[in-house]
Amino acid sequence: HEGSGWEAAAALDPDYRVRWIDVASFYLQRKQLAPCLQWLKRILSPDDDPATLLAGRYIAGLAAFRCATMERAAQEWEAGLALAEGLSDSAMLRHLSEMQGRALFALGRLPEAAARFRRAIGLDGEDAGLWRQLARCLTGAEAADCYRTSLRLGPGLWASVQAREELIALERTQPL
């Protein structure tokens, strides 16, 4: 399935053996969001299995996130979370929780974002980046504790450099 011909063939002939999710992914990877979103309109096809629908919701969330339409990203990832729970896919639950937390954070909905980051941490408590994301939703000693956990878990990671800077700024502005 290479070149522009396969996409045209898939558009003309529904029996052409390419999955819409693959075409949408192709366009998303190339940052061509308009055609990606066009192919994602097929997301509600009753013929698709739950795993494909989950992938579609994930990709739709990414496309919305890249377009800075955070409300839509949060909605797509919420739908994806429901599908992932039905599939008992803990890795996807963790990732979707993190991504939805990021979208909610960008919307300024900090308590909801914190709840999503906590859920992700419950599935993977060793991820320094998750602890930093959670800290950014909190204040005072609770935020400082999360920053310190991030630093402890990933001392050489970029997230830890950011966590250290944010912890220093927090200590300067808020009594701990």
- pLDDT per position as a tens digit, 132-147: 999 999 999 999 999 9
Band of residue 111 on the pLDDT scale cut at 50, 70, 90: very high
**Tell me, what's the pLDDT at 125?**
94
> Is 41's pLDDT higher than 80?
no
Q: How far apart are CA 127 and CA 102, in angstroms?
A: 15
**Tell me, what's the pLDDT at 44?**
58
Q: How far apart are CA 26 and CA 91, in angstroms?
A: 23
Band of residue 6 on the pLDDT scale cut at 50, 70, 90: low
Q: How far apart are CA 68 and CA 149, in angstroms?
A: 30
Count of CB atoms situated within 10 Å of the CB of 24: 25
Name the nearest CA neighbour of 23 among 153, 38, 92: 38
User: What's the whole-model pTM score?
Assistant: 0.81
- pLDDT tens for 75-86 read 999 999 988 988
The residues, ordered by sequence, that sit 6+ positions from 176 with a Cβ below 8 Å of its Cβ are 140, 141, 144, 170
Name the nearest CA neighbour of 40 among 1, 3, 5, 79: 79
